């Protein structure tokens, strides 16, 4: 039995190709949702043709703050002992697949260990080598490395980072996100609202996506981000895709109206993955703090500016991807020279999801 535990939108996007492949092959698996995120999750299931979860551990509002995450995690772990049969089946067996570096990753790994199951960590081996950048993701990764029995690493660099970590290591060549982007690119195109429709929807634009804790944790951090986005939008009209936590923080700190009043910035709610990929594909470049966006842009050959101090990923760095470290000069240079960062799209030939599925089945 393969148990897939996930809880966030990003995790679902990257694990969907694995679940889709299991479904297509008729392989039995259990889909366990932690409930960390709920908004847009059904849209993503529809995107990829994935069935609904077998088990939902939490059915409340999205868990976004660190204190709420800690309490939520403790409650789920406390209930795992007496709900083990309901979560993993009457005679738990097989492997638990967790993904990435979120609280749901750590929670799933701990649950798998408590149930006496093997734990497989997808997207293992990524490091920023800075404990507080990103926080708490780097700490989460270090903990999950030590809980996992099998490490599925997206390339030789990630594999090398686990040289001192116990467990079986599998090089999947690239990230399962490549398979997700491949599925999105092959999906039937549906009409989508054009950016700046009120102006005819014909002008060039960039896309912004900001959501990381270190960028929205307080007014000072968020105001710095808003200032940089305004700086970029002065040169290129911007579509700012608002994650729910970002929207709440902007509203709470009185910065939302400032963005709404800017005619160069169009605010949009977070959408499903396929629609977002179409939006990115039509943009000149992307401004983001997300590792997944960095990877998506690498596969699409799209220039991307990271508003971060450090990144745990190597995809596209020094090529289509520029790490800003919040330096206005770096930001200005990227905006002026974004075309020099364009690259041909490259989704590769091998399927990392297929490598993971075949390894799980061979080990069964």
Spatial separation of the C-alpha atoms in residues 286 and 209, rounded to whole Å: 8
Say if residues 249 and 222 touch (Cβ distance below 8 Å): yes
Dist CA 198 CA 209 (whole Å): 22
| Secondary structure of residue 351 in the 3-state scheme | coil
> What is the model's pLDDT at position 348?
78
Both ends of the chain: CA-CA distance in Å? 8
Q: Which CATH superfamily is domain 2-174+350-363 in?
A: Glycogen Phosphorylase B; (3.40.50.2000)
Residue 237: phi and psi, rounded to 5, are -50, 140
- Residue with structure tokens 């738990």? 92
- Enter the pTM of the model: 0.86
pLDDT reported for residue 362:
92
Q: Is 81 within 8 Å of 104 (Cβ atoms)? A: no
In contact, 339 and 333? CB cutoff 8 Å: no
The residues pairing with 111 across neighbouring beta strands, listed in sequence order, are none
**Two domains, one topology: 2-174+350-363 and 197-341:** yes
**Mean pLDDT per 10-residue run, the chain (364 residues)?**
94 97 95 84 92 88 74 80 84 94 93 95 95 86 98 96 97 95 84 65 88 94 98 97 94 97 95 92 96 95 97 93 98 98 89 97 85
Closest CA to 210 of 152, 288, 271, 122: 288
Write down the pLDDT at residue 201. Answer: 59
Domain ranges in the chain are 2-174+350-363, 197-341
Residues 6+ apart with CB under 8 A from 2: 22, 27, 28, 29, 30, 94, 95, 97, 360
Does residue 192 contact residue 278 with C-beta atoms inside 8 Å?
A: yes
Q: What's the pLDDT at 342?
A: 97
**Mean of all residue pLDDT scores within the chain:** 92
Q: Return the closest-CA partner of residue 52 out of 74, 93, 79, 23.
A: 23
CA dist., res. 85 & res. 92, Å (int): 7
Determine whether 190 is exposed, middle or buried from the number of CB atoms within 10 Å of its CB (0-12, 13-18, 19+). Answer: exposed
Give the per-residue pLDDT at 51: 94
Tell me which residue has tokens 């808003």.
226
Assess if CATH 3.40.50.300 describes domain 197-341. Answer: no
Question: Are 138 and 127 contacting, i.e. CB atoms less than 8 angstroms apart?
Answer: yes
Listed in sequence order, the DSSP H helices in 187-301 are: 213-216, 219-233, 244-252, 256-260, 273-281, 291-300
- The helix or strand, by DSSP H or E, that contains position 98, with its residue range, turns out to be strand 95-99
CA distance 175 to 350: 11
Among the listed residues 324, 270, 319, 284, the one whose alpha carbon sits nearest the alpha carbon of residue 299 = 319
């Amino acid at each position: 039995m393969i148990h897939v535990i996930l809880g966030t939108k990003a995790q679902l996007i990257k694990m969907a190709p694995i679940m889709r492949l299991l479904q297509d092959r008729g392989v039995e698996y259990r889909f366990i949702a932690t409930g960390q995120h709920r908004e847009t999750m059904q849209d993503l299931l529809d995107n990829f043709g994935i069935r609904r979860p077998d088990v939902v551990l939490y059915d409340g509002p999205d868990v976004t703050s660190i204190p709420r995450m800690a309490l939520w995690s403790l409650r789920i772990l406390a209930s795992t002992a007496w709900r083990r049969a309901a979560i993993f089946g009457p005679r738990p067996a097989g492997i638990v697949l967790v993904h990435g570096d979120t609280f749901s990753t750590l929670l799933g790994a701990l649950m798998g260990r408590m149930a006496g199951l093997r734990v497989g960590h997808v997207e293992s081996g990524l490091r920023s080598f800075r404990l507080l950048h990103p926080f708490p993701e780097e700490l989460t990764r270090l903990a999950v490395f030590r809980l996992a029995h099998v490490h599925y690493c997206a390339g030789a660099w990630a594999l090398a980072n686990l040289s001192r970590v116990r467990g079986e290591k599998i090089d999947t060549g690239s990230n399962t996100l490549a398979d997700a982007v491949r599925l999105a690119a092959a999906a039937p195109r549906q009409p989508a609202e054009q950016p700046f429709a009120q102006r005819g929807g014909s002008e060039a634009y960039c896309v912004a996506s900001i959501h990381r804790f270190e960028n929205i944790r307080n007014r000072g951090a968020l105001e710095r981000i808003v200032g940089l986005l305004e700086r970029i939008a002065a040169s290129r009209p911007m579509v700012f895709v608002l994650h729910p936590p970002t929207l709440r923080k902007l509203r709470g700190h009185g910065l939302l109206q400032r963005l709404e009043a800017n005619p160069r910035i169009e605010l949009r709610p977070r959408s499903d993955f396929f629609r977002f990929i179409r939006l990115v594909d039509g943009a000149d470049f992307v401004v983001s703090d997300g590792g997944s966006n960095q990877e998506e842009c690498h596969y699409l050959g799209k220039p991307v500016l990271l508003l971060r101090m450090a990144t745990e990923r190597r995809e596209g760095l020094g090529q289509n991807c520029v790490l800003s470290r919040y330096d206005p000069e770096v930001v200005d240079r990227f905006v002026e020279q974004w075309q020099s960062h364009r690259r041909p799209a490259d989704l590769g030939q091998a399927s990392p999801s297929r490598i993971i599925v075949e390894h799980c089945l061979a080990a069964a």
